[in-house]
Amino acid sequence: MSLFPLDLLLKRIIRHGTLTVVDTTGRAQRFEGRSAGPHVTVRLVDPKFPRRMVRNPGLLLGEGYVDGAYVIEEGTLRDFLEVLMVSTATGEPAGIVGAIASRAASVLGGRNTLGRATKNVQHHYDIDHSLYELFLDRDMQYSCAYWRPGVTSLDDAQRDKKRHLARKLLLQPGMKVLDIGSGWGGLALHLAREHGVHVTGLTLSTDQYETSLRRAQAEGLSDRVTFKLLDYRQEAGVYDRIVSVGMFEHVGRQHFGEFFRHLDRLLKPEGLAVLHTIGRMATPGGINAWVRKYIFPGTYLPSLSQLSPELERRGLWMTDYEMLRLHYAETLKAWDERFQAKRAEIAARFDERFCRMWEFYLQSCEAGFRHRSLVVFQLQITKQIGTAPITRDYMYADAPAQPVAAPQPVAAARATASAKAPRKSPAKAAAPDGHVNGAKANGHAPARTRAKPAPTTAARPRSRAARPEQDG
């Protein structure tokens, strides 16, 4: 067997580290880059993989790993991804099919109509709740943490993210705050608890909605925090502050104008909003084909050049802009470390293929933030020129002398709420569709997979995302 035509592609792109590929007959071919990097050996298992890979590398690299079309014999998956990501930092080799698909995704950018948005949300966030509890922090923050110098704990970094956002929001007690894409409720509860504001959180994930209600009840904050299973486009209130963390990634390119039109509608004249989203420091383009198909369907990551014109058209002020570099790489690394520590337990509840899919998701996204153009944008937006201070000193004031109270773990909140009162039924939304907290990269799973009950005596769960032949 020959590596043709994969060998031609690898000769052209490998510029970092060393990659050795062993074909199904045992013949090895070595590809060396010009810069020092990891040494990785990959053995092919599927003889058809070289031709398939060349047609659409962005899709087939992930599919091949998950399906076992190749195995990594020397080095790790993280090493392998570094070799490829750094080597192709100036542009991903798309292949013929991949180039067409990428161009189409860039132009269309995700048509997230009301109905489609709910389906896309449920694809990722309404899988087994316990999976997220295994690798997220105590507060269930599924978005980029804020890694101050010297911080090594994920819990501390996520706490600092919430504090950083709160300072940018310039909160005053009694203010009404809208949290678009409120996830499992951690940020909304933090703002109400620490700043005395009234928060309305919007989500389209049933699991996130029900968990948030239980947490608010368990913490005695139900009078200050309201959660709705509702699309932001259907919200009728007007607010002093709006915050959206890790949700904008799910809006879709064609709906950027619609999002800012509703933000303008929902924000008071003297109001202020903070938008936290994954973005690209490069020119506009589609996301990785494998991530788009299996992990986050309908997702589009904006470039700053796509956001500024939308604000300008509506006469909105971008009173502050911050780019968080490498913060998400460190967050994803922390998530993956926690995932790997629980890998055997997760494999028993799901299966080994699910674990390979999940680790490829976490580690490939980490590589995108560490070696490619992925970053996080935080935009502060106002309607009036004088709403926010004209210097940034207030964002970096010393932390409060008294430590912020630790949030009650989600599992404990569930138990407390169950003991206090019967579980509430979700209120019906005006329409069963919309957007939700994202990548979240608050970014950041296969669809509708349900865990097997322990002990593992039930049949293996069926997972739409675990089937490469089905498009997400």
Question: pTM of the predicted model, to two decimals?
Answer: 0.82
For the chain, domains (ranges, CATH) are: 6-93 (3.30.1050), 115-420 (3.40.50.150)
pLDDT (mean) for 309-331: 98
Residue 29 CB-density burial (10 A; 0-12 exposed, 13-18 middle, 19+ buried): middle
Residues 61-98 have pLDDT tens digits of 999 999 999 999 999 999 999 999 999 987 555 444 44
pLDDT higher than threshold 80 for residue 106: no
Residue whose C-alpha is closest to residue 362's, from 282, 303, 446: 446
365 is catalytic: yes
DSSP letters spanning 152-207: --HHHHHHHHHHHHHHHHT--TT-EEEEES-TTSHHHHHHHHHH--EEEEEE--HH
pLDDT higher than threshold 70 for residue 193: yes
pLDDT higher than threshold 50 for residue 305: yes
Greater pLDDT, 230 or 444:
230
Residues 252-285 have pLDDT tens digits of 999 999 999 999 999 999 999 999 999 999 999 8
Of the candidates 117, 273, 307, 365, the residue annotated as catalytic is 365
pLDDT higher than threshold 90 for residue 203: yes
pLDDT value, residue 129: 86
Greater pLDDT, 199 or 412:
199
CA 210 to chain centroid, in Å, comes to 20
Residues 364-422 have pLDDT tens digits of 999 999 999 999 999 999 999 999 999 999 998 764 433 334 556 666 555 555 555 54
Neighbouring C-beta atoms of residue 48, cutoff 10 Å? 11
